[in-house]
């Protein structure tokens, strides 16, 4: 026959993180856990406060540096404009350094003077092929050639013909 007795259950091992089963142990465990949490929060709050103050100081320093940079950029622009208005010592009329080259403008200039591309090239000091390429915007003149192009803008037909006769 079978007996109706239940086999004995083995006691399980307690994990350190588990709270004790009796009421007094539970209160002590809860109190200890609460105290540890409170102390941890207090310490992290102290650490983060100093970091927040440092971050705020860095932000204000960055803003001050940005203001200083913009002030200096304004000063550089103003000084650049003032330097551009100065006169030259030799008194010769110069082409402005901010000469803007336009392909269609060069073609119109050549047409106005009634010159061929080769003749226009002779006046500027380049080949006729270069003139064609500039007019078709396949190439751009070098910065050293811009003053010569600017001086042609001031010429009339007679002056251009006289310069061509001199160079021939």
CA-nearest of 137, 136, 141, 168 to 152 is 141
Structure tokens at 26: 């539970």
pTM above 0.75, yes or no: no
pLDDT in tens, 89-137: 444 444 445 677 888 888 898 999 999 999 999 988 999 899 999 999 8
pLDDT in tens, 19-50: 555 667 788 888 999 999 999 999 999 889 98
CA-nearest of 107, 84, 104, 108 to 96 is 84
């Amino acid at each position: 026959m079978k007996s109706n007795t239940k086999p004995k259950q083995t006691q399980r091992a307690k994990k350190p993180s588990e709270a004790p089963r009796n009421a007094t142990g539970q209160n002590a465990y809860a109190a200890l856990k609460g105290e540890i949490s409170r102390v941890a929060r207090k310490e992290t709050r102290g650490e983060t406060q100093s970091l927040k103050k440092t971050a705020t100081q860095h932000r204000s320093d960055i803003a001050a540096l940005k203001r200083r940079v913009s002030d200096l950029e304004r000063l550089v622009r103003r000084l650049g404009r003032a330097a551009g208005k100065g006169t030259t010592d030799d008194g010769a009329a110069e082409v402005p350094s901010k000469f803007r080259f336009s392909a269609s403008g060069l073609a119109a200039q050549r047409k106005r003077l009634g010159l061929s591309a080769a003749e226009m090239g002779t006046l500027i000091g380049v080949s006729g092929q270069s003139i064609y390429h500039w007019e078709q915007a396949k190439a751009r003149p070098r910065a050293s050639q811009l003053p010569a192009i600017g001086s042609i803008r001031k010429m009339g037909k007679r002056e251009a013909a006289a310069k061509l006769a001199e160079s021939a």
